[in-house]
């Protein structure tokens, strides 16, 4: 167990950040899954900007790697265009 006040605070803040990151990552994954399952082009075109925005936010906060974000957006754009 930690012996210093700062170490205890670090444990608390790390836990808070971990939970927030997990929530945001899971939310984005669900949005991506929903977009991939969409077969309606109109609906997919409406969903894509919000999903791309979520992915960009995750990338900006280093929750996912920048290249992974680019790959995801590219594949989703391809999927929407193919509908």
Per-residue pLDDT for 1 more than 80? Answer: no
Length of the chain: 83
Contact 80, 45 (CB under 8 A): yes
Residues 6+ apart with CB under 8 A from 52: 73, 76, 77
The domain segmentation of the chain, as residue ranges, is 28-83
**pLDDT by residue (tens digit) across 15-67?**
999 999 999 999 999 999 999 999 999 999 999 999 999 999 999 999 999 99
Residue 64, helix vs strand vs coil: coil
Tokens of 69: 């974000």
pTM, two decimals, is 0.81
Using pLDDT thresholds of 50, 70 and 90, give the confidence band for residue 4: very high
Ramachandran class of 4: left when φ > 0, alpha when ψ lies in -120 to 50, beta otherwise: beta
**pLDDT by residue (tens digit) across 66-76?**
999 999 999 99
Task: Write down the pLDDT at residue 11.
Answer: 94
Contact 41, 82 (CB under 8 A): no
């Amino acid at each position: 167990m930690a012996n210093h006040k700062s170490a205890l605070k670090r444990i608390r803040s790390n836990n808070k950040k971990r939970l927030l990151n997990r929530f945001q990552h899971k939310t984005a994954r669900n949005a991506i899954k929903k977009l991939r399952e969409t077969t309606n082009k109109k609906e997919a075109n409406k969903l894509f900007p919000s999903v791309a925005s979520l992915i960009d936010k995750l990338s900006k906060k280093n929750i996912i790697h920048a290249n992974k974000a680019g790959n995801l957006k590219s594949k989703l754009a391809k999927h929407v265009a193919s509908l």
